A and B are shown apart, each in its own frame.
Chain A
Amino acid sequence: AQTVTQSQPEMSVQEAETVTLSCTYDTSESDYYLFWYKQPPSRQMILVIRQEAYKQQNATENRFSVNFQKAAKSFSLKISDSQLGDAAMYFCAYVHAGGTSYGKLTFGQGTILTVHP
């Protein structure tokens, strides 16, 4: 079974600084997608960024970028120029692109990010 691990229960960063959230996963599959979702106090799950496993290039979305290391099964999220609105719980998630678990998102435990002004 696939597992996703976020080893940092909490992280903090100063406004305008950079922070990196860690995620590792375990799978025997070769075709999958990885995601970072943000859950602010409103509890809405908001997609931050997505990475296809077959792409070597790291995904980037404005101030958000990932460091995808397929061999190491590592998928970290870097937030640059942190803003107060970035404060939230961040979840790393995995989905296998095929098989009987097709479509099932497996989530990590989450990392609470605090942004200090």
Chain B
Amino acid sequence: DSGVTQTPKHLITATGQRVTLRCSPRSGDLSVYWYQQSLDQGLQFLIQYYNGEERAKGNILERFSAQQFPDLHSELNLSSLELGDSALYFCASSAPLGPDTQYFGPGTRLTVL
């Protein structure tokens, strides 16, 4: 158990819908990262937050957005869902003093029908 929690574990929804994925980092970690794992794209970095502020952005679609709240949990919002958004979404967190080691949550499996 990495100490990073993600909910829900599985999500099945229809095209055009909007969903929210939630992540709680390890105790004491200030950075939260979101990654997408799909069969055709592999593991891709989406976005990073540090203590509530956006720190780095990857190839995140405009339909996707994220935020980190004062209690440091983070949410990834996916809207106008398409079939191709079906993937495993991971959240990771790392200690305050640098990128160092990222510890991953169990992931949320999103299926868009």
Contact = CB atoms under 8 A, between A and B. Distances in A.
Interface string B33-67: 10100000011110010100001101000000000
Interface stretch (A10-18, A73-81, A105-113): A105-113
A93 B42 CA distance: 12
Contact of A33 (B44, B48, B100): B100
Interface stretch (B18-26, B77-85, B102-110): B102-110
B100 A104 contact: no
Contacts, number: 65
Contact of A95 (B88, B99, B103): B99
B99 A33 contact: yes
Contacts of A42: 106
B94 interface: yes
Interface of B: 2, 31, 33, 35, 42-45, 48, 50, 55-56, 58, 88, 90, 92, 94, 98-104, 106-107, 109
Given A43-B106, A104-B58, 7 more contacts: A33-B100, A46-B2, A47-B104, A102-B48, A103-B48, A103-B56, A110-B42
Q: Which 8 pairs between the two chains have the least Cβ-Cβ distance?
A: A45-B104, A103-B99, A107-B43, A104-B45, A103-B48, A95-B99, A104-B56, A44-B106
A25 interface: no
Nearest to A107: B43
A103 B107 contact: no
